Amino acid sequence: MRRSYGSQADGIPGSFATSVAGIDVGKRASVLSLKPDLTAMADGSLDAAVIAFVKSIPSGHRTFLTIWHEPDGKIRSGKFTLEAWMAAFKRFCDLVHRTGGPAVYTALILEAWSGQHPEPGSTYQELWPGRDATACPYADVLAVDGSSDSGSEESLWGPAREFAAHVGVPWAISEIGCKTELSVDWMARNAVYAADHAAAFLCWFSNDNNAVPTPGTDPAADSCSHQISLAYHTDPDTYVLPGRHR
């Protein structure tokens, strides 16, 4: 699978094909982060756009959707409030579940750091949206982004994994990257941890946004990533999210 990010200017794309995840179809599953205006998302102004976008996802294409990934950090920085994000996220999830097929999932994507160093106002518990009117979780999976400067294996992913189990959804790693130095051993150990602890998916953080691209163009890291892919590959056409409530 592949993680991709829409821009704030893009909001809700006109179609999946024209989104940054459109190139995934027929090749891999998608984890797509979008950045719609939170007020418009919460008040219903974007309902038609979201419905049209979700309906445009090709039948059977495994897609994990979220809006404003890592809201915990953005709340701490003052970009928006917990209340504004929560109202928008719940409405987005309702629309996705109402419109999408069985291969389309919603994801709550937070920082691994917030589980390791919880701060009031942006804890996992406060950011968890709970269950919708059908008694199913708004978020089908809890995913977290983490890097090597925050630890490894249990110390890095354990808090999120345990919280996901507590609220009854699968967990996943939506970004994993080396922060200051590329470590093939660190990559391998964390991939084994993810597999041994039933992570729904794992996505390398391969851009250079305040991190070392992982695996990037480093031959040893690229070889390690390839071996990990061979060892743990699942056919996206047959993949089913474990424990999904719908």
User: Quick check: 208 and 236 in contact, CB under 8 A?
Assistant: no
The confidence score (pLDDT) of residue 171 equals 98
Q: Please give the model's pTM, rounded to 2 decimal places.
A: 0.96
Looking at the chain, the whole-number percentage of residues with pLDDT higher than 70 is 100
In order of 16, 151, 199, 241, 245, the CA distances from 156 in angstroms are 33, 5, 13, 23, 27
Domains of the chain, start order: 2-232 (3.20.20.80)
State the average pLDDT over residues 95-107. 97
pLDDT in tens, 231-245: 999 999 999 998 887
Alpha-carbon torsion (150, 33, 138, 64), positive or negative = negative
The confidence score (pLDDT) of residue 209 equals 76
The confidence score (pLDDT) of residue 16 equals 98
The confidence score (pLDDT) of residue 160 equals 98
**Could you identify the residue written with the tokens 């851009």?**
207
State the average pLDDT over residues 59-76. 97
The confidence score (pLDDT) of residue 55 equals 98
pLDDT in tens, 154-194: 999 999 999 999 999 999 999 999 988 899 999 999 999 99
Backbone angles phi, psi at 156, to 5 degrees: -85, -45
**Could you identify the residue written with the tokens 């970009």?**
79
User: Quick check: 181 and 211 in contact, CB under 8 A?
Assistant: no
The confidence score (pLDDT) of residue 100 equals 97
Q: Which two tokens stand for residue 245?
A: 């409530």
**What type of residue sits at position 128?**
W
State the average pLDDT over residues 192-199. 97
The confidence score (pLDDT) of residue 206 equals 86
| Predicted confidence (pLDDT) at residue 228 exceeds the cutoff of 80 | yes
The confidence score (pLDDT) of residue 157 equals 98
State the average pLDDT over residues 109-121. 97
Determine the Cα–Cα distance for residues 170 and 240; give it in Å rounded to an integer.
11
Q: CA 123 from chain center: how many Å?
A: 17
Task: Identify the three-state secondary structure at position 117.
Answer: coil
pLDDT in tens, 200-221: 999 999 887 778 899 999 999 9
Higher pLDDT, 209 or 54: 54
The confidence score (pLDDT) of residue 242 equals 86
The confidence score (pLDDT) of residue 192 equals 97
* Confidence band, pLDDT 50/70/90 cuts, at residue 63: very high
State the average pLDDT over residues 133-139. 97
